[in-house]
């Protein structure tokens, strides 16, 4: 199965700073690369995803970049706000995909 690692496990930033979370995976056949945000006491929400035929995707303050050769993809959040504080999970996969989550990154944005 897919071996997924996320770094860092905890990220603390000041409001307005940028945050970057990296996800490394093992299966070279993976072709779907999503990021989920989980707020305290809630289920995960898909915030952005990318497929293997694209290197970068942006949606307002968030973006995902993919390096298939190196088998990693990253979540970028610019101009962070306190409401961005949450746990972020990556869950790469391929055809017949069932989300298998990384360990998560706790992002703390200090006002």
Partner 1 sequence: GAVVSQHPSRVICKSGTSVKIECRSLDFQATTMFWYRQFPKQSLMLMATSNEGSKATYEQGVEKDKFLINHASLTLSTLTVTSAHPEDSSFYICSASLAGALNYGYTFGSGTRLTVV
Segments of the chain assigned E as strands:
5-7, 10-14, 19-24, 32-38, 45-51, 56-59, 62-67, 72-77, 86-90, 105-110
Q: How far is the CB of 69 from partner 1 (least distance, A)?
A: 22
Q: Which is nearer to partner 1, 11 or 17 (CB)?
A: 11
Look up residue 78 and give its two tokens: 């610019």
Which CB, 43 or 111, lies closer to partner 1? 43
Say whether residue 44 binds partner 1 (CB under 8 A): yes
Q: Is 103 in the site for partner 1 (CB under 8 A)?
A: yes
Residue 27 or 49: which CB sits closer to partner 1? Answer: 49
CA distance 15 to 12: 10
Which position among 88, 93, 107, 109 is part of the footprint of partner 1 (CB under 8 A)?
93
Half-sphere exposure of 80 (CA within 13 A, CB side): 21
Helix (H, G, I), strand (E, B) or coil at 80: coil
The verdict on 73 binding partner 1 (CB under 8 A) reads no
Binding site for partner 1 (CB under 8 A): 32, 34, 36, 41-46, 49, 89, 93, 97-104, 106
């Amino acid at each position: 199965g897919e071996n997924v690692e996320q770094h860092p496990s905890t990220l603390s930033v000041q409001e307005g700073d940028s945050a970057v979370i990296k996800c490394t995976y093992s299966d070279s056949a993976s072709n779907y690369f999503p990021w989920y945000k989980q707020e305290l006491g809630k289920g995960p929400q898909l915030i952005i995803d990318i497929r293997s035929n694209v290197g970068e995707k942006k949606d307002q303050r968030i973006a995902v970049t993919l390096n298939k050769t190196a088998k990693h993809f990253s979540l970028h959040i610019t101009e962070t706000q306190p409401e961005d504080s949450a746990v972020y999970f990556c869950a790469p996969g391929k055809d017949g995909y069932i989300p298998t989550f990384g360990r998560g990154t706790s992002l703390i944005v200090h006002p």
